[in-house]
Amino acid sequence: MMPMIQFKQVGKRYNGIEVIENLCFSIHKNDVIGILGPSGVGKTTILKMIADLVTPSSGTIISHAKRIAYVFQEPRVLPWKTALDNVAIPLLPLGYNYKQAREKAAEQLGKMGLRGYEGYFPVQLSGGMIQRVSLARAFAIEPDTLLLDEPFSALDIGLKKVLLDMIKEQLKAMPVTVLYVSHMPEEVVQIANRIFMLFSKGIMEELPVNTDELIKTKLSDFIDKYRTAETAVLPNG
Ligand SMILES: Nc1ncnc2c1ncn2[C@@H]1O[C@H](COP(=O)(O)OP(=O)(O)OP(=O)(O)O)[C@@H](O)[C@H]1O
Ligand SMILES: [Mg+2]
C-alpha cells in the first residue's frame, strides 16, 4: 500500500538548534495515529511540517494529503465571528454557498454539543467550548487528513470521553487519516490504531497495538518509559 505521508530522514532546526533529527516514519491512508511524547520534544513541529507551516531543514516529506484540517494546540478562532460563522466561513472557498455552509456548520456544532451556542462569539465561550468549535470546523471541511494537537487539553474527563466517542463515530462514517498528538496514553489508546512515541529528536518508536489485551499490558510499560523520557527532558525545558 502506498503511504499517505512519509518522513524520510527529516530534520528541523530552529535558529541552529536541532529539534528533529533524521526522523523516518510512514503512515497509510485512514490510519489513526497517536503521537505521544514529553513536552518540547517536537510533536507540534511534526504536525506543522505535515501541514506545510514549517519547512524541514533536511530530508523529505512525501505527502498525498489533499485537504488537511488542523486543530491547533492553541485554539485559533476568529474573535469577531460567531461560533457558527467560524465553522461556516472555511466552507465558502470549497463551493458551499453561505446558506449551505451555515447549515453544515450548525450540524457539526450540534455534534459537538454546542447546539444553542451558534450565535455566541468566542469571548462568550469557555476554553473547552472554543476547542469544540475548532473540532467542528475541522470536521466540517471533510478533510482527508486531520491533525489534532492536544485537542482536549482544556476539557474535563467526562466531556473528553464524550468527544472521543463522537470522533470515533465520525471516523467510522467518514474515514480520515488522523494524527492525534497527546500527553495522555489513556486518551490515545481510545482512538488510535497505531501509536508512536517520540522520545527525543529523531527517536520515534512505534508501539505494537493489536488487541485490547496488548494495549493493557503494553500501557503500563510504556507509561514508565514515558515518565523516564519526560524526566530526562525536563532539565533542558
Ligand atoms: N518557531 C520556533 N522557533 C524556535 N524554536 C521553536 C519554535 N517552535 C518550536 N521551537 C522549539 O522546538 C522544540 C519543540 O517544540 P514543539 O512545539 O514541537 O514541542 P511539543 O512536543 O509540541 O511540546 P508540547 O508538548 O509542550 O506542546 C522546543 O524546544 C521549542 O522551543
Ligand atoms: Mg505541542
The residues, ordered by sequence, that sit 6+ positions from 188 with a Cβ below 8 Å of its Cβ are 34, 35, 36, 180, 182, 195
Query: Are 141 and 96 a contacting pair, CB within 8 Å?
Result: no
Higher pLDDT among residues 5 and 154, named by residue: 5
In ligand 1, the atom with minimum distance to the C-alpha of 45 is: 18
Cβ of 39 less than 6 Å from ligand 1? yes
Taking residues 154-170, report their average pLDDT. Answer: 85
Considering every ligand atom shown, identify the ligand nearest to the alpha carbon of residue 37 and give its number: 1
For residues 100 and 83, the answer to whether their CB atoms sit within 8 Å is: no
pLDDT at position 163 is: 85
Beta bridge partners of 146: 69, 178
Ligand nearest to the CA of 35: 1
| Pairwise pLDDT comparison (166 vs 42), residue with the higher score | 42
Lowest mean pLDDT among 36-50, 99-113, 127-141, 211-225: 211-225
pTM: 0.88
Q: What is the mean pLDDT of the chain?
A: 87
What's the rounded Cα separation, in Å, for the pair 80 and 138?
A: 19
pLDDT over threshold 90, residue 218: no
Cα of 116 from ligand 2 centre, angstroms: 31
Would you state the torsion angle of the CA atoms of residues 130, 108, 184, 73, taken in this order, to the nearest 10 degrees? -40
For 146, 200, 204, the CA distances from 69, given in Å and listed in that order, are: 5, 26, 24
Question: Which domains are assigned to the chain?
Answer: 1-67+147-156+179-237 (3.40.50.300)
Q: Whose CA is nearest to atom 4 of ligand 1?
A: 14
For residue 38, which atom of ligand 1 is closest to its CA?
A: 25
